[in-house]
Structure 1
């Protein structure tokens, strides 16, 4: 019997020759290896049998990201991600009751210090006293901690790849275990999501603040992207950095983070995908035993803010002594919009690979740029997002020349100057990318969990290729003319202060 991935690979390769029929048959073959069910509390599980090795990959996908964060607490989704590795009342502590008492007093002292620091005339003596009290209880709580016990348990039992991510749209947790250790995963996942403990909370906030300094404050590209989103979006929370604004990271307390967890980490907002050498019935029994105890709760609210129509082109310049950079973005659509596939194909034709239009012209032929990229779905795709072009100019190249060439290539797309051969190559590359992305337990589990959570069905991880294959040259021209227009554009750059004549002049 062929393995699941070999069927997928063969089906996708055959699709390059015969689109609809073979692909439908391939989906049938995939479905034979997929079992899905929903627990009474609303948690959905997808089990993918892939018996090529006695291991399995486990993914918990939570449909919450930076876009969902409340005012004053940007970055809280990422903060909680860190907390999810700190254990539970049973894991990571020497004395939970004593630790809990210290944690509560620690957070109360921090909240009092925070309120005093925000007052119009803060009392410095009171601030010092409250901070000393906070540090006292933080030290007391630390005496009860078995640091890293959660991850050490996993590693001791053969677990690998323990990690997580937080994006604008979602948060994901994943690792792999020997197939016969599946029960351990269910136990640990239930522990950390039933009643998480926010131990080492303020220590981790310091770690996150350092991440922000490294990735944003000390990075020209990070500074440019943060400024770009805050200018491009007037109202929608995509304007906020996933890492959070520094003041919000500082202001977020354990109580804030717990409220966020209780609102969004509910079973109906979580999807579990397991891929590997597993028995679906056994997984179902373990799920009911361990994850069935997660309490059902009201489904979390969705973002109601709609970005208003842009009234004209927006521009900004960051003047500093660093590598010049250029970025431009156009308001487009969410991933579930009919035009999303055409926009993705357009970005692929423009900048994916050495044969792409922008690479050939700007990097290879005219040597204007060290790197150039076009992408869609930034910073997320659950809500209407951006089609972005980004370039790093070579030494001595004016940003005005970078912008001129990018605009010329976009104008060619508007004029219908893309050839069928280019579109065919882009579709072929998309299929190849899909095969690569599915050539592992991790790729299967993560892609199928995301497809279910954000598009309603794991099959969307595969049928989206049908949408890409259906894109026509007329579609490419139409979306370019509709969305890639000056009045819908935000342009930003980093320029050395002494250089004149770049973008934005």
Structure 2
């Protein structure tokens, strides 16, 4: 898409695969792959790839032996193999040119080099001066044509530490992970994007390669280029660089068959934390006609200081904070509208639940007033237009809508869909959704009188939970 306001270009490579596509027992592989995609190829990031490959292959063999020794409980053998592993790891490290991929991008004026893993997708993105755009085609095609997955075992420790920080040592992280497990029974959204600790520990480089070979074929990758570009030149470069890819069998579509919930599900965790309350309701995915209606409901309840839950719970100091995740943990499949709150000192999660229930009942019994509906429509339009106003936001949305809805043009149809939402739509969807049998409740109870306040989960943390 051409945007000639400044001589810069934003690029998004959208892999149409996320953690929801992993097999049970192999959680976290999509996230591993995101990390390893920055480690280079057989030509980028190595001083001597033939020799490095020998060491990498030897590490894989040793790790398999370590897992076997652990299964047998042979502590002496484990210690011996770990020493051998350290020696070979040092040999492999000697061939690595650290962060070579990132250095090439930065030396060419690139900014914002990053990636994210979610339930539905994995995104790789950065910006370049427009006269360096061909470099993106070269680097991006190379890293998904010839990945090496070097430094896998070192990255394993990074990811395990990331899990410890975000989940194992975080009360709200544990709370969110448990919520998915209770709310879903067969939907793969029940598993954490970051992966379970034991799966992460036992993962192998072969697991990553199998996942890559299955899901990173050309038919499952979507590239968006937005900025100061010549479309004809972009097409030529795309054919020259990505035309090197061999076609692969398109991966099977993810089939989700979650049975309708028939009664309220609930759980309680007792941890060293201030009390939190989570309440979520099943809702359809992004391709349902009522998708934008759920956005309106979310804004009515939690969209800033004028939102109903803020006025009902935060202003009277029943809650210190309230929030939501509309489409948790993804929205390509049937999903969850999640509402949460942190209780204020001297108040309980039960009080927060009562206040929340009153506002949900109000949505079902009273048509939303015109002023409120107009306000949330304005907020929704402004939020969408703000994202579309930047090269980065445009690239992200074009790729996402192409992947999730089948046509990137649908993002521009959402403005009209927002405008068409009526008070009757809001009431109808609220009545269909906010039913006790469709509800999952999570309570985080303080295990101590002086529990620290755990910060509210960010959108990124919820997406990766």
Show the counterpart of 2:425.
475
* Cα deviation digits, residues 117-140 of structure 1 (max 9, x gap): 2x3x42222222222232222221
Could you say what secondary structure the match of 1:194 adopts?
coil
Show the counterpart of 2:353.
403
Deviation at 1:109, TM superposition (A): 1.0
Deviation at 1:438, TM superposition (A): 1.4
User: 1:321, 1:182 → 2: CA distance?
Assistant: 50
User: 2:200, 2:3 → 1: CA distance?
Assistant: 41
Assess if the C-alpha contact under 8 Å between 1:348 and 1:374 holds in 2. Answer: no
User: 1:316, 1:414 → 2: CA distance?
Assistant: 26
Show the counterpart of 1:36.
none
| TM-score (normalizing by structure 1) | 0.87
* Cα deviation digits, residues 398-441 of structure 1 (max 9, x gap): 11110000000000111134212211111111111112111211
Show the counterpart of 1:259.
210
Deviation at 1:498, TM superposition (A): 6.5
User: 1:425, 1:164 → 2: CA distance?
Assistant: 34
Show the counterpart of 2:52.
99
User: 2:205, 2:271 → 1: CA distance?
Assistant: 37
Show the counterpart of 2:268.
317
CA RMSD of aligned residues (A): 1.3
Deviation at 1:475, TM superposition (A): 1.4
Show the counterpart of 1:19.
none
1:466 to 416, 430, 441: 416
| TM-score (normalizing by structure 2) | 0.94
Could you say what secondary structure the match of 1:243 adopts?
coil
User: 1:497, 1:454 → 2: CA distance?
Assistant: 42
Q: Does residue 66 of structure 1 match 2:19?
A: yes
User: 2:406, 2:20 → 1: CA distance?
Assistant: 19
Could you say what secondary structure the match of 1:206 adopts?
helix
Q: Does residue 452 of structure 1 match 2:405?
A: no
Assess if the C-alpha contact under 8 Å between 1:89 and 1:197 holds in 2. Answer: yes
Could you say what secondary structure the match of 1:49 adopts?
coil
User: 1:373, 1:176 → 2: CA distance?
Assistant: 31
User: 1:454, 1:174 → 2: CA distance?
Assistant: 18
1:442 to 392, 396, 399: 392
Larger displacement relative to structure 2 (379-388 or 313-322):
313-322
Show the counterpart of 1:215.
166
Deviation at 1:483, TM superposition (A): 1.4
Show the counterpart of 1:111.
64
Show the counterpart of 1:240.
191
Superposition pairs of residues 370-389 of structure 1, within 5 angstroms: 370-389=320-339
Superposition pairs of residues 424-439 of structure 1, within 5 angstroms: 424-439=374-389
1:203 to 149, 154, 168: 154
Q: Does residue 160 of structure 1 match 2:116?
A: no
User: 2:155, 2:448 → 1: CA distance?
Assistant: 40
2:281 to 324, 330, 333: 330
Could you say what secondary structure the match of 2:258 adopts?
coil
* Cα deviation digits, residues 220-270 of structure 1 (max 9, x gap): 211110111111111111011111000010111000000001101111111
Could you say what secondary structure the match of 2:371 adopts?
helix
Q: Does residue 488 of structure 1 match 2:448?
A: no
Say how many residue pairs are matched: 449
User: 2:272, 2:38 → 1: CA distance?
Assistant: 39
* Cα deviation digits, residues 305-333 of structure 1 (max 9, x gap): 41122231111111122111010111111
Could you say what secondary structure the match of 2:272 adopts?
coil
Structure 1 residues not aligned, in runs of 5+: 1-47, 500-505
- Runs of at least 4 residues off by over 3 Å: none
Show the counterpart of 2:457.
none
Could you say what secondary structure the match of 2:144 adopts?
helix
Assess if the C-alpha contact under 8 Å between 2:381 and 2:418 holds in 1. Answer: no
Q: Does residue 294 of structure 1 match 2:245?
A: yes
Superposition pairs of residues 278-289 of structure 1, within 5 angstroms: 278-289=229-240
